[in-house]
């Protein structure tokens, strides 16, 4: 992939496709980061939204986004283009979100185990969650983490089912089935007028 003579020296990164930017990054990194920066600029907002919806808070989403951007920076030279850049990016994002989610879950278990005030724990359980107040976030708190990620990748990242299946290392039919069942469950839940 090292063919610097085939690429013009001057270019406007905004006019290049993802694939052209990846090719540029193969040649330029780590001395020049223009192509990498443009790729990150294109996906930064969606990347953050995916992380925030999956993890449920902006602080963790910010941390995961930074980690993803570093992994992309150091991994871009080895990216072979067997999938679209977008699919590769969200695959990294998915793995980082899973890692963060597991860390948070372990931390919550430890805090619960150390908590000496059962009254405090009970009141926290009854408190309404911010995510339940509206839109997609209101729905996402009611599904398990795998189904949540499928819905986030479909609705927020706007990926095709095959791309989601590739990212999550699942079969295409299994991905579609989980997606359909999650939506059916949510429709049933929110069809009930007693659900807030």
The dihedral over CA atoms of 152, 156, 158, 164, expressed in degrees to the nearest 10, equals -20
- The pLDDT value recorded for residue 107 is 65
Domain with 144 in it: what CATH number?
A: 1.10.10.10
Q: Which residue, chain included where needed, has tokens 């003579």?
A: 5
- Percentage with pLDDT > 90 across the chain: 45
Which are the contacts of 58, defined by CB distance < 8 A and separation ≥ 6?
52
The verdict on 38 and 109 lying in the same domain is yes
How would residue 19 be classed by pLDDT, with cut points 50, 70 and 90? Answer: very high
The verdict on 67 and 136 lying in the same domain is no
The verdict on 106 and 17 lying in the same domain is yes
Which are the contacts of 3, defined by CB distance < 8 A and separation ≥ 6?
27
How would residue 8 be classed by pLDDT, with cut points 50, 70 and 90? Answer: low
pLDDT tens-place string over residues 121-171: 333 333 333 333 356 677 778 888 888 889 888 888 889 999 999 999 999
| Domain that residue 54 falls in | 11-116
pLDDT tens-place string over residues 30-74: 888 999 999 999 999 999 999 999 888 899 999 999 999 999 999
- The pLDDT value recorded for residue 105 is 74
The verdict on 48 and 135 lying in the same domain is no
Measure Cα distances from 159 to 9, 132, 155 in Å.
Answer: 33, 24, 8
pLDDT at residue 1 is higher than 70: no
Q: Is position 80 within any domain? A: yes
Phi, psi for residue 195 in degrees, rounded to 5: -80, 130
Domain with 43 in it: what CATH number?
A: 1.10.1740.10
- The pLDDT value recorded for residue 132 is 38
How would residue 187 be classed by pLDDT, with cut points 50, 70 and 90? Answer: confident
Distance from C-alpha of 106 to C-alpha of 96, rounded to nearest angstrom: 16
Which are the contacts of 162, defined by CB distance < 8 A and separation ≥ 6?
172
Burial of 62 (0-12, 13-18, 19+ CB in 10 A): middle
Distance from C-alpha of 67 to C-alpha of 90, rounded to nearest angstrom: 13
The verdict on 75 and 138 lying in the same domain is no
Instruction: List, in sequence order, the alpha helices (H) in the chain.
Output: 18-28, 34-55, 58-75, 85-114, 118-126, 135-140, 145-155, 161-168, 172-191
The verdict on 18 and 102 lying in the same domain is yes
Residues 50 and 156: beta-carbon distance below 8 Å: yes
């Amino acid at each position: 992939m090292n063919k610097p003579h085939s690429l013009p020296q001057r270019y406007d990164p905004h006019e290049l496709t993802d694939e052209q930017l990846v090719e540029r990054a193969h040649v330029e990194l780590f001395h020049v980061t223009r192509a990498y920066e443009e790729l990150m600029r294109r996906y930064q907002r969606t990347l953050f939204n995916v992380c925030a919806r999956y993890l449920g808070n902006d602080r963790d989403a910010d941390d995961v986004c930074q980690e993803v951007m570093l992994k992309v920076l150091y991994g871009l030279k080895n990216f072979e283009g067997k999938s679209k850049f977008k699919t590769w990016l969200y695959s990294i994002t998915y793995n980082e979100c899973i890692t963060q989610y597991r860390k948070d879950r372990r931390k919550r278990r430890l805090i619960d185990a150390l908590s000496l005030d059962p009254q405090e724990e009970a009141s926290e359980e009854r408190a309404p969650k911010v995510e339940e107040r509206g839109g997609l976030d209101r729905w996402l708190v009611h599904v398990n983490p795998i189904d949540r990620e499928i819905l986030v990748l479909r609705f927020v990242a706007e990926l095709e089912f095959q791309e989601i299946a590739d990212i999550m290392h699942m079969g295409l039919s299994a991905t579609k089935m989980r997606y359909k069942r999650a939506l059916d469950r949510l429709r049933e839940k929110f069809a009930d007028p007693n659900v807030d």
